[in-house]
Amino acid sequence: MQLTRFDRWLREKYVYETHIHTLRPPESLPAGVRAVEIPDVPGKRYKHLFVASSSSVADKLISQLRANSQMYTTQIVDKKDWYVPFLAPKNKSVTWWLISLVVITISSISALLYLKTFADDPEFQRNFMDAVKLFKS
Protein backbone atom coordinates (compact mmCIF):
# COMPACT_ATOMS: atom_id res chain seq x y z
CA MET A 1 0.00 0.00 0.00
CA GLN A 2 1.20 3.50 -0.73
CA LEU A 3 2.55 5.49 2.19
CA THR A 4 1.08 8.88 3.03
CA ARG A 5 3.05 11.94 4.09
CA PHE A 6 2.14 11.19 7.69
CA ASP A 7 3.50 7.63 7.34
CA ARG A 8 6.76 8.89 5.87
CA TRP A 9 7.09 11.52 8.62
CA LEU A 10 6.46 8.87 11.32
CA ARG A 11 9.10 6.61 9.85
CA GLU A 12 11.68 9.37 9.46
CA LYS A 13 11.08 10.74 12.97
CA TYR A 14 10.67 7.56 15.03
CA VAL A 15 11.71 4.50 13.01
CA TYR A 16 14.76 5.21 10.85
CA GLU A 17 18.31 5.73 12.03
CA THR A 18 21.38 6.39 9.92
CA HIS A 19 24.46 4.17 10.22
CA ILE A 20 27.65 5.84 9.05
CA HIS A 21 30.72 3.65 8.53
CA THR A 22 34.15 5.28 8.35
CA LEU A 23 37.79 4.20 8.07
CA ARG A 24 38.90 6.41 10.94
CA PRO A 25 36.98 8.31 13.59
CA PRO A 26 36.17 11.98 12.99
CA GLU A 27 37.80 14.69 15.07
CA SER A 28 34.57 15.38 16.97
CA LEU A 29 31.07 13.96 16.98
CA PRO A 30 28.00 16.20 16.75
CA ALA A 31 25.47 15.91 19.57
CA GLY A 32 23.04 13.06 18.86
CA VAL A 33 25.59 10.76 17.23
CA ARG A 34 26.80 7.73 19.13
CA ALA A 35 29.79 5.56 18.37
CA VAL A 36 29.20 1.80 18.29
CA GLU A 37 31.98 -0.67 18.85
CA ILE A 38 32.30 -3.15 16.01
CA PRO A 39 34.55 -6.20 16.16
CA ASP A 40 37.84 -6.05 14.28
CA VAL A 41 37.32 -8.57 11.50
CA PRO A 42 39.99 -9.14 8.84
CA GLY A 43 38.88 -7.97 5.42
CA LYS A 44 36.27 -5.55 6.76
CA ARG A 45 36.66 -2.28 4.93
CA TYR A 46 35.26 0.16 7.49
CA LYS A 47 36.50 0.14 11.06
CA HIS A 48 34.13 2.58 12.84
CA LEU A 49 30.35 2.79 13.06
CA PHE A 50 28.42 5.90 14.09
CA VAL A 51 24.65 5.92 14.58
CA ALA A 52 22.62 9.11 14.08
CA SER A 53 19.01 9.09 15.26
CA SER A 54 17.87 11.90 12.94
CA SER A 55 18.72 12.89 9.40
CA SER A 56 19.77 16.42 10.38
CA VAL A 57 22.36 15.09 12.84
CA ALA A 58 23.59 12.62 10.22
CA ASP A 59 23.94 15.47 7.71
CA LYS A 60 26.13 17.37 10.19
CA LEU A 61 28.45 14.40 10.60
CA ILE A 62 28.54 13.74 6.85
CA SER A 63 29.42 17.36 6.09
CA GLN A 64 32.20 17.15 8.69
CA LEU A 65 33.50 13.94 7.08
CA ARG A 66 33.41 15.58 3.63
CA ALA A 67 35.27 18.63 4.91
CA ASN A 68 38.01 16.33 6.25
CA SER A 69 38.04 14.26 3.00
CA GLN A 70 37.23 11.09 4.90
CA MET A 71 35.84 8.03 3.21
CA TYR A 72 32.46 6.91 4.52
CA THR A 73 29.31 5.05 3.64
CA THR A 74 25.78 5.46 4.96
CA GLN A 75 22.95 3.07 5.53
CA ILE A 76 19.43 3.83 6.74
CA VAL A 77 17.98 1.06 8.91
CA ASP A 78 15.03 0.54 11.23
CA LYS A 79 15.62 0.98 14.95
CA LYS A 80 15.36 -2.07 17.18
CA ASP A 81 12.73 -0.58 19.51
CA TRP A 82 9.48 -2.28 20.56
CA TYR A 83 7.24 0.30 18.89
CA VAL A 84 8.75 0.07 15.40
CA PRO A 85 6.40 -2.71 14.13
CA PHE A 86 3.40 -0.61 15.19
CA LEU A 87 4.59 2.61 13.50
CA ALA A 88 6.03 0.99 10.39
CA PRO A 89 4.39 -2.35 9.59
CA LYS A 90 5.83 -4.10 6.54
CA ASN A 91 4.00 -3.14 3.32
CA LYS A 92 1.20 -1.36 5.21
CA SER A 93 0.17 2.20 5.91
CA VAL A 94 -0.57 3.25 9.49
CA THR A 95 -2.77 6.09 8.24
CA TRP A 96 -5.10 3.83 6.24
CA TRP A 97 -5.24 1.36 9.12
CA LEU A 98 -6.33 4.15 11.49
CA ILE A 99 -8.88 5.49 8.98
CA SER A 100 -10.40 2.03 8.48
CA LEU A 101 -10.51 1.50 12.26
CA VAL A 102 -12.41 4.77 12.73
CA VAL A 103 -14.85 3.98 9.90
CA ILE A 104 -15.55 0.48 11.26
CA THR A 105 -16.03 1.81 14.80
CA ILE A 106 -18.46 4.54 13.68
CA SER A 107 -20.38 2.04 11.52
CA SER A 108 -20.64 -0.46 14.38
CA ILE A 109 -21.88 2.17 16.83
CA SER A 110 -24.42 3.46 14.31
CA ALA A 111 -25.73 -0.07 13.63
CA LEU A 112 -26.01 -0.84 17.36
CA LEU A 113 -27.88 2.41 18.02
CA TYR A 114 -30.25 1.63 15.12
CA LEU A 115 -30.92 -1.84 16.51
CA LYS A 116 -31.43 -0.39 19.99
CA THR A 117 -34.28 1.79 18.66
CA PHE A 118 -35.98 -1.41 17.45
CA ALA A 119 -35.46 -3.13 20.80
CA ASP A 120 -36.99 -0.16 22.67
CA ASP A 121 -40.08 0.03 20.43
CA PRO A 122 -43.04 -1.73 22.17
CA GLU A 123 -44.81 -2.54 18.89
CA PHE A 124 -41.66 -4.20 17.51
CA GLN A 125 -41.30 -6.19 20.75
CA ARG A 126 -44.91 -7.41 20.46
CA ASN A 127 -44.47 -8.40 16.81
CA PHE A 128 -41.18 -10.11 17.56
CA MET A 129 -42.67 -12.13 20.44
CA ASP A 130 -45.61 -13.14 18.19
CA ALA A 131 -43.13 -14.32 15.56
CA VAL A 132 -41.22 -16.34 18.17
CA LYS A 133 -44.47 -17.97 19.36
CA LEU A 134 -45.34 -18.85 15.76
CA PHE A 135 -41.98 -20.53 15.22
CA LYS A 136 -42.24 -22.47 18.50
CA SER A 137 -45.66 -23.89 17.69
Is the pLDDT score of 1 beyond 70? no
Whether residues 19 and 58 fall in one domain: yes
Whether residues 12 and 75 fall in one domain: yes
Domain boundary among 87, 103, 125: 87
Q: How far apart are CA 42 and CA 82, in angstroms?
A: 33
Q: How far apart are CA 85 and CA 79, in angstroms?
A: 10
Whether residues 16 and 63 fall in one domain: yes
Q: Of the candidates 87, 82, 89, 76, which has an alpha carbon nearest to the alpha carbon of residue 17?
A: 76
pLDDT tens digits, 5-61: 999 999 999 999 999 999 999 989 999 999 998 888 888 888 999 999 999 999 999
**Which amino acid is it at 28?**
S
Partners of residue 35 on adjacent β-strands: 50
CATH number at residue 78: 3.30.70
* pTM exceeds 0.75 for this model: no
Whether residues 123 and 63 fall in one domain: no
Q: How far apart are CA 59 and CA 81, in angstroms?
A: 23
Contacts of range 3-6, beta carbons closer than 8 Å, 24 or more positions apart:
3/93, 4/93, 4/95, 4/96, 6/94, 6/95
Which pLDDT does position 2 carry in this prediction?
84
Whether residues 81 and 104 fall in one domain: no
The pLDDT-based confidence of 118 (bands split at 50, 70, 90) is confident
Residues in CB range of 53: below 8 A, 6 or more apart = 17, 32
Whether residues 15 and 69 fall in one domain: yes
Number of domains in the chain: 2
Q: How far apart are CA 33 and CA 58, in angstroms?
A: 8
Whether residues 41 and 67 fall in one domain: yes
Whether residues 38 and 78 fall in one domain: yes
Whether residues 78 and 124 fall in one domain: no
Tell me the residue range of the domain where 61 lies. 5-87
Which pLDDT does position 40 carry in this prediction?
82
Quote the mean pLDDT of the chain.
92
